[in-house]
């Protein structure tokens, strides 16, 4: 199953038949930058979506769920600069007005428009600015506007996040392209992130939803920057059915799932690499656990530890902080005498104590790297799990202290 990965640059992105995009400047929060995106979806396409588990979910999340329950999506309207969260009933009415404006210009039903927002919480959505920009969005629709769309949905991101692949299903060509945004307020069960992924394969709605759930659990639900869960997290997967490939058998579903998993994982890793103020990318691998859940429990204890994250920022091999996080992760009947911990290939803890072969110079050498893998072998089972995170720097504090200024 050959495929090619294209990550950045408009010329290296595979357009998706049945998808057109547009970006424009509605001046929602910052003057002079694109901050509003429209994605047009062909009729008869299938869509699946997952959203934040935050109880204070934003108005657009609530409205998306309502619309998806009754209608097939034809347009996605995405704004940055304003989250439309913590805005109560007025926020819901504002999101509905924006959907109605798109419907008025396109002839679709308002329920076929899905709204998405990201930005500052608690401020009213500037509906007049958004609605005034809808004609320009419609006029600018193009199949080649993926890069412009990825740039327009950025908030504290420093770089757009795009992944595009050409692959084959039973010898038939297919394409998948996705964009995402996110840099802070990132934790499992999604993140302060938006992701929009499209493919030209034909797949049933039920299969599409299942495939998205599986991919999410191995990608966007395995990342954390700061342990904070957003109010607006959303991920949409669209299958236009306008390509030659059809997902009808188990082998075809497996091929498609593999490509979708890798696409989502690559986007998720881009979010972590662009974490607010991040200087290190850390893969936390937990091996030999009794269950997948307990492996994740240990991984997140390490990934969410401010002491661990600041040590990595300082390139300080203070491995005792990792050891402590494993200990307080909450595993029952943990035999610490069986635990081994590695920084890349360097064994720092062997059988629950400092490895005899370990030297500070070895640890220092690994810690200076941009990409670092922490491996913990629990010695109590055959389950594994991996979480991706980043360090915690001075700039993270500055960026979030100045977020509304």
Which residues are known to be catalytic? 192
CB 352 within 8 A of CB 340: no
In a 13 Å sphere around the CA of 80, the CA atoms on its Cβ side amount to 25
Q: What is the pLDDT of residue 188?
A: 53
Location of structure tokens 């995405």: 78
At 143, list the tokens: 């199949």
> Residue 194 and residue 83: Cα distance in Å, rounded?
11
As a whole number, mean pLDDT of residues 59-72 equals 95
User: What tens digit of pLDDT does each residue of 163-174 get?
Assistant: 999 999 989 999
> At residue 81, does pLDDT exceed 70?
yes
Kindly give the pairing relationship between strand 346-350 and strand 383-390.
unpaired
Classify residue 120 by burial, with Cβ atoms within 10 Å: 0-12, 13-18, 19+. middle
Same fold, 4-273 and 281-401: no
CATH architecture of 281-401: Roll (3.10)
User: What tens digit of pLDDT does each residue of 194-219 get?
Assistant: 999 999 999 999 999 999 999 999 99
Q: What is the pLDDT of residue 231?
A: 73
Say which residues have a Cβ less than 8 Å from residue 55's Cβ, sequence separation at least 6: none
> Residue 42 and residue 92: Cα distance in Å, rounded?
26
> At residue 118, does pLDDT exceed 60?
yes
> Residue 260 and residue 236: Cα distance in Å, rounded?
12
Q: What is the pLDDT of residue 10?
A: 40
Q: What is the pLDDT of residue 33?
A: 92
Classify residue 382 by burial, with Cβ atoms within 10 Å: 0-12, 13-18, 19+. exposed
List the CATH code of the domain at 4-273. 3.60.70.12
Q: What is the pLDDT of residue 398?
A: 76
Q: Above pLDDT 70, what percent of the chain?
A: 92
CB 194 within 8 A of CB 232: yes
Say which residues have a Cβ less than 8 Å from residue 22's Cβ, sequence separation at least 6: 37, 38, 40, 136, 137, 138, 139, 140, 141, 142, 145, 148, 149
Q: What is the pLDDT of residue 182?
A: 84
> At residue 52, does pLDDT exceed 70?
yes
Say which residues have a Cβ less than 8 Å from residue 306's Cβ, sequence separation at least 6: 392
Location of structure tokens 């495939």: 211
CB 187 within 8 A of CB 225: yes
Domain-wise residue ranges, the chain = 4-273, 281-401
Task: Tell me how far apart the terminal alpha carbons of the chain are, to the nearest angstrom.
Answer: 49
At 200, list the tokens: 């030209």
Q: In the sheet that 75-82 helps form, which strands lie side by side, from edge to edge?
A: 19-24, 36-41, 75-82, 113-120
> At residue 5, does pLDDT exceed 90?
no
> At residue 64, does pLDDT exceed 60?
yes
Average pLDDT over the chain, rounded to whole? 91
As a whole number, mean pLDDT of residues 146-167 equals 94
Say which residues have a Cβ less than 8 Å from residue 233's Cβ, sequence separation at least 6: 51, 52, 54, 61, 189, 190, 191, 192, 193, 194
Q: What is the pLDDT of residue 2?
A: 37
As a whole number, mean pLDDT of residues 264-291 equals 92
Residue among 132, 187, 181, 145 nearest 20 (CA): 145
9 — pLDDT class (breaks 50, 70, 90): very low
């Amino acid at each position: 199953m050959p495929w090619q990965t294209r990550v950045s640059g408009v010329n290296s992105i595979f357009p998706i038949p049945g998808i057109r995009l547009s970006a424009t400047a509605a001046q929602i929060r910052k003057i002079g930058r694109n901050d509003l995106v429209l994605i047009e979806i062909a009729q008869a396409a299938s869509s699946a979506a997952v959203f934040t588990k935050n109880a204070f979910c934003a108005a657009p999340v609530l409205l998306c769920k309502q619309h998806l329950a009754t209608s097939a999506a034809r347009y996605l309207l995405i704004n940055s600069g304003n989250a439309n969260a913590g805005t109560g009933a007025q926020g819901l009415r504002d999101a509905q007005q924006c959907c109605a404006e798109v419907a008025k210009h396109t002839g679709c039903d308002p329920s076929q428009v899905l709204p998405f927002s990201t930005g500052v919480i608690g401020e009213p959505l500037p509906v007049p600015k958004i609605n005034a920009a809808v004609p320009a969005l419609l006029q600018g629709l193009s199949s080649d506007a993926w890069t412009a769309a990825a740039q327009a949905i950025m908030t504290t991101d420093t770089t757009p996040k795009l992944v595009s692949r050409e692959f084959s299903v039973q010898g038939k060509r297919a394409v998948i392209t996705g964009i995402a945004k996110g840099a802070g307020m990132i934790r499992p069960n999604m993140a302060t992130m938006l992701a929009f992924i499209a493919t030209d394969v034909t797949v049933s709605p039920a299969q599409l939803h299942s495939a998205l759930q599986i991919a999410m659990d191995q990608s966007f639900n395995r990342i954390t920057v700061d342990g904070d869960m957003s109010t607006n997290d959303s991920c949409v997967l669209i299958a236009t059915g306008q390509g030659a490939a059809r997902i009808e058998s188990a082998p075809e579903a497996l091929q498609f799932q593999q490509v979708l998993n890798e696409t989502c994982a690559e986007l998720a890793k881009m979010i972590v690499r662009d974490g607010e103020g991040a200087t290190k990318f850390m893969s936390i691998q937990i091996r030999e656990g009794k269950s997948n859940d307990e492996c994740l429990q240990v991984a997140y204890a390490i990934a969410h530890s401010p002491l661990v994250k600041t040590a990595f920022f300082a390139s300080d091999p203070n491995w005792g902080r990792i050891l402590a996080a494993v200990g307080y992760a909450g595993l029952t009947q943990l035999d610490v005498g069986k635990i081994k911990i590695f920084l890349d290939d360097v064994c720092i803890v062997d059988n629950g104590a400092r490895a005899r072969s370990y030297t500070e110079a070895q640890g220092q050498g690994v810690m200076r790297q941009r990409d670092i893998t922490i491996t913990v072998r629990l010695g109590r089972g055959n389950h594994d799990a991996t979480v991706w995170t980043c360090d915690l720097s001075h700039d993270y504090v500055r960026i979030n202290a100045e977020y509304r200024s």
